[in-house]
């Protein structure tokens, strides 16, 4: 165990929160007084990179220490299987483990909650016990076979629709207060060391913050009147002018301010109960959000900086308080960091000391100067996009970014994006952080970009450079299912 290691771990994910909307990263609106104070006790990382631009693969990477192509969780195969999670290792070592979230992807059917002793789930009418066991196997089956894959996609679409419907009455989408309450209760009732994971979802579309935050950050804005459907904008069925973008960003800021206030309650409890100093706190976003940059809305169909250069702050006695502006960090390193901090021997992916933020030799491994990002085809979002386009009489080109898988290698000074259906892209981040000037045509003339592209090619060689079509059924797609799962699927009317 690292000297001074904190026995308790609180891991907080601010879902869909952009780095540039937080006070510790220079934002000039008072969205985050709690995080501003927290930054005075933590290490603040400027160059943290998510391995994907959306929830499922990023959380799978943080929980396993593996890249998306390695752990395999994407919308093409939307579950984590055959790996041991961080929570499972910590639980086996005697930690009390909890996971509270309102994110539809962080549920037993995807495998992300494996190893957590206590958990909450997104589906208000469906208890966690129903999402495990046979139903989890059904979820895997539906996604593995073309014949019923549409059912699985429809389940997620339905979940999104429920989320939007519940969100329609300003502020009712927020389960953050309940998440914070559950976390406090779990820590208070636990004996011995605790690993508590929370995902706070308020900054994810749709934005319907509580009225008091609307009044401060988006005065006069009616959240039901602005565009809250990113697919309508992305397909070209809906235009958004500058005034509406300003209103949308104001609502987004209000949601972040609400999250920050709820975090103040959790941090206050830890301080008042005398557990603050002995608790390691990891706080990051899983990905960001686009508000019109690059002509896109949301966090699909791209891997630009607004999505993958995320906030990360870590409080631990072995980390010097202050800013780390130069060293690049990958979120997959958090798996190794938590294992290092707790002294737990992993039951899954082996600890790589050089991937621990606590190590004096951090990132001293081959290709350690680079971060890698992967984006598989967004099946559900693509279906929704096509539906919106069809309703508006718009034809989407199959050779567009909407249908393209993507990969990138990044260094603080440069980034190369490999696209499946559209031309590759390259950017000098040191002088063009907004990625406005695509230099793919002159990569060979730029040493930085040439080096980054070479790193991406080597990464692809290790994990597989070709994109294979997903899915496909055998002669009998039911053959590999157990009797209980097959019966459950039949009861639900999905197969005969």
Helix (H, G, I), strand (E, B) or coil at 49: strand
pLDDT in tens, 83-100: 999 999 999 999 999 999
Strands 194-200 and 96-101: parallel
**Which pLDDT score, from 0 to 100, does residue 78 have?**
80
How many angstroms separate the CA atoms of 394 and 417, rounded?
27
How many angstroms separate the CA atoms of 23 and 30, rounded?
7
Work out the percent of the chain whose per-residue pLDDT is above 90.
73
How many angstroms separate the CA atoms of 327 and 320, rounded?
14
Q: What is the mean pLDDT of residues 384-413?
A: 95
pLDDT in tens, 99-153: 999 888 888 878 899 999 999 865 443 444 444 444 455 555 555 555 555 555 5
How many angstroms separate the CA atoms of 143 and 131, rounded?
15
Contact, 52 vs 288, CB < 8 A? no
Contact, 432 vs 443, CB < 8 A? no
How many angstroms separate the CA atoms of 150 and 379, rounded?
10
Work out the percent of the chain whose per-residue pLDDT is above 70.
82
How high is the mean pLDDT of the chain? Answer: 86
pLDDT in tens, 276-315: 999 999 999 999 999 999 999 999 999 999 999 999 999 9
Residue 468 pLDDT class (50, 70, 90 cuts): low
pLDDT in tens, 175-216: 899 999 999 999 999 988 999 999 999 999 999 999 999 999
How many angstroms separate the CA atoms of 199 and 118, rounded?
14
Strands 43-49 and 322-330: parallel
Using the structure block, give the residue that is written with the tokens 């309940």: 178
Structure-block tokens of residue 452 = 């980054």
**Which pLDDT score, from 0 to 100, does residue 149 have?**
54
Residue 465 pLDDT class (50, 70, 90 cuts): low
Q: What is the mean pLDDT of residues 53-66?
A: 96
Residue 467 pLDDT class (50, 70, 90 cuts): low
Give the phi and the psi of residue 253 in degrees, each rounded to 5. -60, -40
How many angstroms separate the CA atoms of 458 and 472, rounded?
29
291 bridge partner residues: 297
pLDDT at 384 over 60: yes
How far are the Cα atoms of 113, 139, 214 from residue 176, in angstroms, in the given order?
A: 18, 27, 17
pLDDT at 482 over 70: no
**Which pLDDT score, from 0 to 100, does residue 378 have?**
79
Cα dihedral across residues 15, 16, 22, 26: positive or negative: positive
More confidently predicted of 68 and 470: 68
**Continuous segment of H or E residues that includes residue 45:** strand 43-49
pLDDT at 167 over 70: no
pTM, full prediction: 0.87
How many angstroms separate the CA atoms of 85 and 105, rounded?
16
**Which pLDDT score, from 0 to 100, does residue 7 have?**
86
Rounded (to 5) percent helix, strand, coil in the chain: 40, 15, 45
Alpha helices in 127-276 (DSSP H): 128-131, 134-144, 146-167, 176-189, 211-217, 230-235, 242-272
Q: 11-15, 403-407, 438-442, 480-484: lowest mean pLDDT where?
A: 480-484
Contact, 459 vs 409, CB < 8 A? yes
Using the structure block, give the residue that is written with the tokens 């958090």: 334
Structure-block tokens of residue 40 = 């005075």
Q: Tell me: cis bond preceding 366? Omega within 30 of 0 counts.
A: no
pLDDT in tens, 339-378: 999 999 999 889 999 999 999 999 999 999 999 999 998 7
pLDDT at 16 over 60: yes
Strands 194-200 and 8-14: parallel
Contact, 412 vs 429, CB < 8 A? yes
**Which pLDDT score, from 0 to 100, does residue 480 have?**
41
Of 61, 277, 273, the C-alpha closest to 187 is 273
């Amino acid at each position: 165990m690292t000297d001074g290691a904190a026995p308790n771990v609180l891991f907080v994910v601010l879902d869909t929160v952009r780095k540039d909307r937080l006070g510790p990263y220079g934002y000039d609106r008072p969205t985050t007084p709690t995080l501003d104070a927290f930054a005075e006790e933590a290490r603040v990382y400027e160059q943290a990179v998510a391995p994907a631009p959306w929830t499922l693969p990023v959380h799978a990477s943080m929980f396993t220490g593996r890249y998306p192509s390695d752990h395999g969780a994407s919308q093409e195969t939307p579950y984590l299987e055959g790996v041991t999670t961080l929570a499972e290792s910590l639980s086996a070592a005697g930690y009390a483990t909890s996971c509270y979230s309102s994110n539809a992807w962080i549920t037993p059917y995807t495998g992300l909650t494996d190893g957590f002793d206590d958990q909450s789930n997104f589906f208000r009418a469906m208890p966690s016990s129903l999402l495990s066991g046979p139903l989890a196997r059904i979820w895997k089956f539906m996604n593995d076979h073309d014949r019923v894959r549409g059912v699985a996609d429809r389940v997620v679409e339905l979940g999104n629709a429920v989320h939007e419907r519940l969100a329609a009455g300003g502020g009712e989408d927020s389960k953050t207060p309940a998440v914070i309450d559950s976390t406090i209760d779990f820590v208070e009732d636990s004996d011995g060391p605790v690993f508590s994971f929370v995902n706070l979802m308020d900054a994810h579309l749709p934005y319907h913050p509580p009225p008091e935050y609307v009044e401060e950050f988006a005065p006069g804005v009616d959240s039901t009147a602005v565009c809250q459907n990113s697919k309508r904008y992305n397909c070209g069925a809906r235009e958004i002018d500058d005034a509406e973008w300003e209103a949308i960003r104001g609502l987004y800021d209000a949601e972040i301010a609400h999250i920050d206030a709820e975090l103040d309650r959790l941090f206050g409890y830890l301080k008042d109960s005398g557990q603050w100093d002995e608790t390691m706190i990891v706080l990051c976003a899983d990905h960001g959000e686009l508000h019109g940059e690059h002509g896109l809305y949301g966090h699909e169909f791209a891997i630009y900086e607004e999505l993958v250069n995320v906030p990360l702050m870590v409080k631990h006695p072995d980390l010097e308080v202050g800013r780390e502006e130069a060293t690049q960090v990958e979120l997959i390193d958090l798996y190794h960091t938590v294992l290092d901090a707790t002294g737990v021997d992993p039951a899954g992916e082996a600890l790589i000391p050089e991937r621990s933020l606590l190590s004096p030799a951090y990132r001293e491994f081959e290709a350690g100067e680079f971060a890698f990002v992967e984006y598989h085809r967004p099946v559900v979002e693509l279906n929704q996009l096509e539906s919106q386009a069809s309703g508006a009489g718009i034809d989407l080109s199959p050779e567009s970014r909407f249908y393209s898988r993507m990969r990138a290698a990044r260094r603080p000074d440069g980034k190369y994006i490999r696209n499946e259906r559209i031309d590759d892209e390259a950017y000098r981040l040191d002088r063009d952080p907004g990625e406005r000037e695509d230099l793919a045509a002159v990569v060979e003339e730029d040493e930085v970009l040439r080096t980054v592209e070479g790193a991406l090619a080597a990464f692809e060689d290790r994990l597989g450079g070709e994109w294979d079509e997903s899915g496909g059924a055998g002669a009998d797609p039911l053959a590999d299912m157990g009797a209980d799962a097959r019966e459950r699927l039949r009861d639900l009317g999905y197969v005969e």
